[in-house]
Structure 1
Amino acid sequence: MNPDLDLALERVIRAPREVIWRAWTDPARFAKWWIPAPAICQVERLEARPGGALVTSMSDDGITFVPQLDATFLVVEPLERLVYTNAIDSAWRPADPEPFLMTAEITLADHPDGTDYRILVRHGDPATRARHEELGFADGWGTVLKQLAAAAESEAGR
């Protein structure tokens, strides 16, 4: 991790890696935790394979949905790691997404209490990293991580 360019979160989730993997790769499960509540997520495409699409929309009222993420998976290592970027959209075209370009890496590892879950979000320059932090990286991604943990722990019966 480069502290000038990257932001990170880490948490032990009291659920097996398989449960968290399904939460990331099953569209119905993914939609339940991806957007900070009370907003609602709609998964347009979730193709967990290298070159596959990750496209979501969001809604504050459950009726009108607006684009939220149009990204491409770069790396998919089952039960261990997912890497995606919004620098390339789901049609493999160079993108210029608002509010910034990023590449996110999610890693899962066994932990005595469940799964060590890590998020590393890479940015191209310090200004972009700072902007992401100012826009609420810790709160937004932290909220989503809490929602993921709650869903996974519930599914695992913990």
Structure 2
Amino acid sequence: MKVETSELTIDRFIKAPPSVIWKAWSMPEHLARWWIPAPMECKVVKLDLRPGGGFETLMREGDGDFQPHVEGCFVEVVPETRLAFTTVLKEGWQPTEPWLALTAIMTFEAEGAGTRYSARALHRTPEDSRKHEEMGFQEGWGATLDQLAALVERLT
């Protein structure tokens, strides 16, 4: 019997310290290089790393126009340790109706010569979680983690 859950998780060991992973998360020019699976292109519109601060990215495939990707609000920001945002709020705690409601919690835990990067995606219902999983959660978030690892290993 499969247990229904509203949470999806993924984690990786990355060969870089939490401070370098934080740099990749906190600088728009770095975030744009790994946040969306290649070959799609990412444009960072907002990255206000404080509770209530806005988080917005756009994506583009090929020569097309940039389209909405994520718009949310940071709910917790602990530099080099933990970062959480939600898509059910936008900048300034303003409620919104996203195409996919979730809260994402990322933790960066020093482990040996690197970092254990863990991400949790919390959904309103098990059905929403299953929909996100069927959309390719593991593949998509996994690809971005691979891109993050490649970027931060070059930054160290």
Paired amino acid for 2:68: P
1:39-94 C-alpha deviation (Å, 9 max, x unpaired): 10000010111111111111112562111111000000011000000000235321
Query: Which residue pairs with 1:119 in the alignment?
Result: 119
Query: Which residue pairs with 1:20 in the alignment?
Result: 21
Residues of 2 paired with 1:65 and 1:18: CA distance?
Answer: 30
1:79 aligns with 2:80: yes
Q: Is the 8 A contact 2:76 2:85 kept in 1?
A: yes
Aligned positions of 1:124-139 closer than 5 A: 124-139=124-139
Q: Is the 8 A contact 1:40 1:62 kept in 2?
A: no
Q: Is the 8 A contact 1:72 1:89 kept in 2?
A: yes
Aligned positions of 1:1-158 closer than 5 A: 4-61=5-62, 64-98=65-99, 100-156=100-156
Residues of 1 paired with 2:95 and 2:53: CA distance?
Answer: 15
Q: Percent identity?
A: 39
Residues of 2 paired with 1:63 and 1:91: CA distance?
Answer: 31
Tell me the matched-pair count. Answer: 154
Residues of 1 paired with 2:63 and 2:148: CA distance?
Answer: 20
Stretches (4+) displaced over 6 A: none
Residues of 1 paired with 2:135 and 2:97: CA distance?
Answer: 18
TM-score by length of 1: 0.93
Alignment root-mean-square deviation, CA: 1.4
Q: Is the 8 A contact 1:44 1:56 kept in 2?
A: yes
Q: Is the 8 A contact 2:52 2:92 kept in 1?
A: no
1:84-135 C-alpha deviation (Å, 9 max, x unpaired): 000002353211111x200000001110130011001101111011111111
Provide closer, same or farther for how the CA distance between residues 62 and 82 of structure 1 changes in structure 2, counting only shifts above 3 A.
Answer: farther
Q: Is the 8 A contact 2:53 2:92 kept in 1?
A: no
Residues of 1 paired with 2:58 and 2:93: CA distance?
Answer: 18
TM-score by length of 2: 0.94
Q: Is the 8 A contact 1:12 1:113 kept in 2?
A: no
Q: Is the 8 A contact 2:55 2:73 kept in 1?
A: yes
Provide closer, same or farther for how the CA distance between residues 149 and 3 of structure 1 changes in structure 2, counting only shifts above 3 A.
Answer: farther
Bigger share in strand: 2
Paired amino acid for 2:39: P
Paired amino acid for 2:49: A
| Structure 2: gaps spanning 5 or more residues | none
